[in-house]
Amino acid sequence: MNETPPRVRAEIDLAAVRANVRALRARAPRAALMAVVKADAYGHGMVPCARAAQQAGAAWLGTATPQEALALRAADVGGPVMCWLWTPGGPWREAVEADVDVSVSGMWALREVVAAARAAGRTARIQLKADTGLGRNGCQPADWPELVQHARAAEAEGAVRVTGLWSHFACADEPGHPSIAAQLAVFQELVAYAEKEGVDPEVRHIANSPATLTVPESHFDLVRPGIAVYGVSPSPELGTPAALGLRPAMSLIASVALVKRAPEGHGVSYGHHYVTPTETTLGLVPAGYADGIPRHASGRGPVLVGGKRRTVAGRVAMDQFVIDLGGDLLEPGAEAVLFGPGDRGEPTAEDWAQAADTIAYEIVTRIGSRVPRVYLNERPDERERGANGAAQ
């Protein structure tokens, strides 16, 4: 085995992914769970995370694009898979043949999936998506009767089966926001209308991570968490991962590339936005915005090096940034922990989000393809297998 430590690596603790899925299932005991693994499982690696989620009892997997869903099938991942972000001319036939549930938000999509099903000689599994107030994807309530009636006609013909009715929240990460109850009321009306027209769905679902954690009346038949599966809090208002019973799965660790002495008054990195206040030592961290380190965190991002929290000195460059080690002399190769679960004193993805004026979703999801993912705890141990209980 080649044990050369990588320049920078993202360690992914699959035991944390499994524990988070179990914790989320416990929060929604009457619903099944769809683990959302879009965007390469929020940067954590789609296929290993999908398998870990299934091992912990996730009945469904969700992706945004059909290409992501087909990549799961190409990797031999079985079980129900759904994808929802379609554009005209998309791979409908491939999805139908791969037994992937496809979301339909409007008449153009229904027409394309019906044509694909006829061409394939198969019944497509479709889920009708309603816009209950998010104002993004989904069918407007005014257009819902037309979509439902045409879907029913396609069902009668055998071209499709409506397996799901679903929607998505706008403000579930703001507990008590009036739009939550308003969207639930609209969802219930639209579901009732479709059922009155004869739709008999396997699953009705609207709950993302924050709703899974805080809005039990939104759970219906299926909850659809993404970020919480990876142990990241959906928002600071909801609490830390630990307060939510979650464990961050990703740790981003670099190997310090250079440590050197620098005199007082030395400009550091592009633009000289940092100037050494005294004679000091500087450490070079070989990770930059091409690796997903936000340039917005220049002068602010936190890093644990040599047992102490340090701060990015000056600009984050494409491939590297500098930290002021305050006179400490570390060996090159020392670990620089940008973020992790936090229990060794390292910063968290939430800390980086704050430093970069963004959300923790963006921090983990943007970790670049140049950063190898290193998987820990790939196999559940005995104790964990017991914890899965009835689900397995």
Identify which range of 23-31, 182-190, 222-230, 259-267 contacts ligand PLP by CB under 6 A: 222-230
Interacting residue with ligand PLP among 60, 84, 86, 289 (CB under 6 A): 84
Q: What is the DSSP string of 220-246?
A: TTEE--SGGGGT--S-GGG--TGGGT-
Choose, from 42, 196, 270, 361, the residue flagged as catalytic.
Answer: 270
Interacting residue with ligand PLP among 17, 31, 36, 303 (CB under 6 A): 36
CB of 103 to ligand PLP, least distance (A): 8
Q: For ligand PLP, which residue has the nearest CB?
A: 226
Per-residue tokens: 376: 């820990």
Choose, from 38, 42, 129, 230, the residue flagged as catalytic.
Answer: 38
Judged by DSSP in three states, 321 sits in strand
Answer yes or no whether residue 338 interacts with ligand PLP by CB under 6 A: no
Answer yes or no whether residue 347 interacts with ligand PLP by CB under 6 A: no
Show the binding pattern over residues 232-271: x = contacts ligand PLP (CB under 6 A), - = does not: --x-------------------------------------
Show the binding pattern over residues 57-76: x = contacts ligand PLP (CB under 6 A), - = does not: -------x------------
CB of 69 to ligand PLP, least distance (A): 13
Q: How far apart are CA 48 and CA 377, in angstroms?
A: 11
Interacting residue with ligand PLP among 90, 226, 301, 380 (CB under 6 A): 226
Q: Which is nearer to ligand PLP, 184 or 228 (CB)?
A: 228
38 as an active site residue: the answer is yes
Q: Which is nearer to ligand PLP, 139 or 285 (CB)?
A: 139
CB of 336 to ligand PLP, least distance (A): 28
Q: Which is nearer to ligand PLP, 57 or 302 (CB)?
A: 57
Please name which of 281, 284, 274, 227 lies closest in space to residue 254, comparing C-alpha atoms. 284
Identify which range of 106-114, 142-150, 224-232, 293-301 contacts ligand PLP by CB under 6 A: 224-232
Q: Are strands 222-223 and 203-207 parallel, antiparallel or unpaired?
A: parallel
Answer yes or no whether residue 208 interacts with ligand PLP by CB under 6 A: yes
Residues 248 and 231: beta-carbon distance below 8 Å: yes
210 dihedral zone (left: phi>0; alpha: psi -120 to 50; beta): alpha
By rule CB under 6 A, what count of residues binds ligand PLP?
13
Within 138-177, the residues that bind ligand PLP by CB under 6 A are: 168
Per-residue tokens: 152: 């029913």
Q: How far apart are CA 55 and CA 260, in angstroms?
A: 47
Beta strands in the chain (DSSP E): 8-13, 32-36, 60-63, 81-83, 101-104, 124-129, 160-166, 203-207, 222-223, 250-255, 258-262, 267-268, 274-275, 280-285, 302-305, 308-313, 321-324, 335-339, 373-376
Q: Which residues of 215-229 are buried (b: 16+ CB within 10 A; e: fewer)?
A: beebbbebbbbbbbb
230 as an active site residue: the answer is no
Q: How far apart are CA 155 and CA 143, in angstroms?
A: 19
Beta strands in 287-366 (DSSP E): 302-305, 308-313, 321-324, 335-339
Identify which range of 70-78, 155-163, 226-234, 261-269 contacts ligand PLP by CB under 6 A: 226-234
Q: How far apart are CA 193 and CA 201, in angstroms?
A: 12
CB of 38 to ligand PLP, least distance (A): 6
Q: Which is nearer to ligand PLP, 34 or 70 (CB)?
A: 34
Interacting residue with ligand PLP among 209, 251, 269, 298 (CB under 6 A): 209
Judged by DSSP in three states, 22 sits in helix
Q: Which is nearer to ligand PLP, 228 or 316 (CB)?
A: 228
Per-residue tokens: 45: 């690696």
As annotated, the active-site residues are 38, 270
Binding positions for ligand PLP, rule: CB under 6 A: 36, 38, 64, 84, 168, 208-209, 224-228, 234
